[in-house]
Amino acid sequence: MCGIVGYIGSRKAEPILIDGLTKLEYRGYDSAGLTILEKENFKTIKNKGRVKELSTLVKQENLEGNIGIAHTRWATHGKPSSTNSHPHNDNSNIFSVVHNGIIENYHELQKFLGDNGYHFLSETDTEVIPNLIHYYFSEEKTENQHAFLKAVNQACHKLKGSFAIGVLCTLFPDCMIVVRKDSPLVIGKGDGENFISSDIPAYLGSTRDFYLLKDNEFAILTKTDVQFFDNTLNPISKTTTKIDWDATSAEKNGYEDFMLKEIYEQPTAIRETIRNHLTTDQPCQFKTLNFSKEFLSTIQKIYIVACGTAMYAGLTAKNLLENICEINTEVDVASEFRYRNPLIHKNTLCIFITQSGETADTIAALKLAKSKGATTLAISNVEGSSITREADFVIYTHAGPEIAVASTKAYTSQITLLATLVIYFAEILNKDEKLLIDLKKSILELPTKAEQLLSNLSEIENFAKETYQNKDVFFLGRGLDYNTAAEGSLKLKEISYIHSEAFYSGELKHGPIALIEKDTLVISILTVPDLIEKSISNIQEVITRGAKTLIITDKNLEHSNFTKIIQIPQTHPLLSPILSILPLQVFAYYISKNKGLDVDKPRNLAKSVTVE
């Protein structure tokens, strides 16, 4: 959950590294640091805090070097501090390393290195890496680039866990070495310069051509070349992938925060997600899928596996799959899936959802499903990400880069893509034609309706000003509306730090209603036609006990005792979560802004969870 960047070229490395770190700060922001090779010696500067604080320190040094590595951290081993920040150097200051991931056997390696005369300054697992490289390099008879690569390779063979690593060496000032295993790392190819990064947005302004490393692949970067090697150091060839994201999509473009910008990008993200799949008068198309009626008819169960927001998108897909395709569907949290011995066999389809494509728990769950013979389908927003290389089949949302830690446009794009996938399945299975026509029409209308809704949410902004000091907020929903309630609650707690929970409306009387007292804020979503009246009865129960109520609905409700009603455009009931979440995203945003918090970078959280 950290961000790595690196540069080698003819330009000054310092501003390029700082800019790259700034663009990756959503991956971690409790400390940051960089190493630049200055006249054959390392200049390593590290600091607790944000990248802007590191930038202030760095500017005082007037660094001229044109090769360097840098890191923005989300602490796992060792508290946030300048000592624990990356990069970490070996005892002789010959090697400098940035690392993303977790070294599970670092205690064992510390003892081995300690017995061989090495000492450690930090509390991190990472510090063993440069010292282990130094140990193996010292055993080599020659000091050349191959010996450098061999030492990195030998060190990596001793590491257990996940890692993406960038290494500099003072003896070889014209190259850097990188390797990845179960942690993201890409190489950007420029003109007379090359870049490394944990994520593509860091260098979209400099290049669109990226090499995508597979697990246990090594690379040597110079200004003009990149050489690739497998785990036994045999040379391999790789081609670049052109990334078509707009470089400005990783900028704020006049918005105060990335989250607000990404909320308002949702109509475009939905359009792009369905653009190549859906029309009103043709069967749904997925060029990367070749599912047949015979295959889908053999599927006895579908598992949808994901974490956090993506898991709530999966809950909505479960409803669609069971209602339309009549296939038994389970939704599992990825971090629990592997440890409960799920009943998987060859007639199981497992769908894995992850915005980044690098979520460690989700990738591990996919590997388990494959080992048990299931067919695996990954849904990601990032081409070439780790999960897309592991799955049997892949389909993509086209939300563009999502920088804010709290997911918005990725979530609605995921539900939209899943709904389109369900239509694809249903058409193959010859399900209710009229229903499918209605759903297609409704999906194609979603971008316009989302635009209409987002242009008219001043009431929710004002309501946030009135309620931002609440200490507890409860969300209620029945059926599909519960999924929206759960995601809305997650958004609020992520960025406002307000205690928030979601409950099924019908479960209130089974315990949670004990928490309701005067002026407690209760938010209820009312879009499921058959459940509206029952849900209103539940809301009356909390009003009776003094609660304030915010109602999100697509119905014309006239209940004077509701504190605030936000009416959203009507769509097909099975698609309502795509619209009903929008005012809740805006509500969470303005609650956080009124509290004076950093919306894009909430405490203790990072965007891409690459450790279990």
Provide DSSP, 228-294. Answer: EE-TT--EE----EE----GGGGS-TT-SSHHHHHHHTHHHHHHHHHTTT--SSS----TT----HH
Q: Which of 402-416, 475-489, 510-524 has the lowest mean pLDDT?
A: 510-524
The pLDDT tens digits of the residues spanning 327-380 come to 999 999 999 998 888 899 999 999 999 998 888 889 999 999 999 999 999 999
pLDDT of residue 403: 86
Is-catalytic flag, 441?
A: no
What is the rounded radius of gyration, in angstroms, for the C-alpha atoms of the chain?
26
Q: Evaluate whether 483 touches 304 at the Cβ level (below 8 Å).
A: no
Residue 234, pLDDT > 80, answer: yes
- Top-confidence residue, 73 or 321: 321
pLDDT of residue 506: 83
The pLDDT tens digits of the residues spanning 273-296 come to 999 899 888 899 999 998 999 999
User: Which residues, other chains included, contact 173 with Cβ-Cβ below 8 Å and sequence gap of 6+?
Assistant: 37, 40, 67
Distance CA 503, CA 75 (A): 32
Distance CA 580, CA 578 (A): 6
Distance CA 489, CA 483 (A): 10
- Top-confidence residue, 416 or 405: 416
For the 251-454 domain, the top CATH level (class) is alpha beta
pLDDT of residue 277: 93
pLDDT of residue 516: 82
Distance CA 610, CA 329 (A): 27
- Pairing mode, strands 88-89 and 67-73: unpaired
* Residue burial 473-490, b: 16+ Cβ < 10 Å; e: rest: bbbbbbbbbbbbbbbbbb
- Top-confidence residue, 381 or 606: 381
**What confidence category does residue 540 fall into, taking pLDDT thresholds of 50, 70 and 90?**
confident
pLDDT of residue 608: 57
Q: Evaluate whether 468 touches 284 at the Cβ level (below 8 Å).
A: no
Question: Which member of 2, 169, 325, 350 is catalytic?
Answer: 2
Residue 298, pLDDT > 70, answer: yes
Q: How many CA atoms lie within 13 A of 139 on its CB side?
A: 11
Q: Evaluate whether 100 touches 89 at the Cβ level (below 8 Å).
A: no
Give the other-Cβ count within 10 Å of 256's Cβ: 12
Residue 609, pLDDT > 80, answer: no
Distance CA 316, CA 333 (A): 14
* Residue burial 573-599, b: 16+ Cβ < 10 Å; e: rest: bbbbbbbbbbbbbbbbbbbbbbeeeeb
Beta-bridged to residue 348, according to DSSP, are 301
Is-catalytic flag, 2?
A: yes
**What confidence category does residue 28 fall into, taking pLDDT thresholds of 50, 70 and 90?**
low
pLDDT of residue 55: 84
Secondary structure class of 412 (helix, strand, coil): helix
pLDDT of residue 612: 54
How much is the average pLDDT of 471-494?
95
Domain with CATH 3.40.50.10490 in the chain: 251-454, 458-594
Question: Which member of 46, 189, 449, 607 is catalytic?
Answer: 607
Residue 302, pLDDT > 90, answer: yes
The pLDDT tens digits of the residues spanning 50-100 come to 888 888 888 888 899 999 999 987 667 667 788 888 899 999 999 999 998
Assigned token pair, 306: 């994901």
Domain with CATH 3.60.20.10 in the chain: 3-243
Assigned token pair, 486: 């759960």
CATH node for 3-243: 3.60.20.10
Secondary structure class of 168 (helix, strand, coil): strand
Residue 248, pLDDT > 70, answer: no
pLDDT of residue 143: 82
Secondary structure class of 395 (helix, strand, coil): strand
The pLDDT tens digits of the residues spanning 145-184 come to 999 999 999 999 999 988 899 999 999 999 999 999 888 8
Q: How many residues does the chain have?
A: 612
pLDDT of residue 541: 85
Q: What is 458-594's CATH number, 3.40.50.10490, 3.30.1490.20, 3.30.470.10, 3.30.420.10?
A: 3.40.50.10490
Q: What one-character DSSP code corresponds to residue 460? A: H
Residue 386, pLDDT > 90, answer: no
Residue 610, pLDDT > 60, answer: no
Q: Please give the mean pLDDT across all residues of the chain.
A: 90
Q: Evaluate whether 98 touches 6 at the Cβ level (below 8 Å).
A: yes
pLDDT of residue 27: 67
Give the other-Cβ count within 10 Å of 536's Cβ: 18
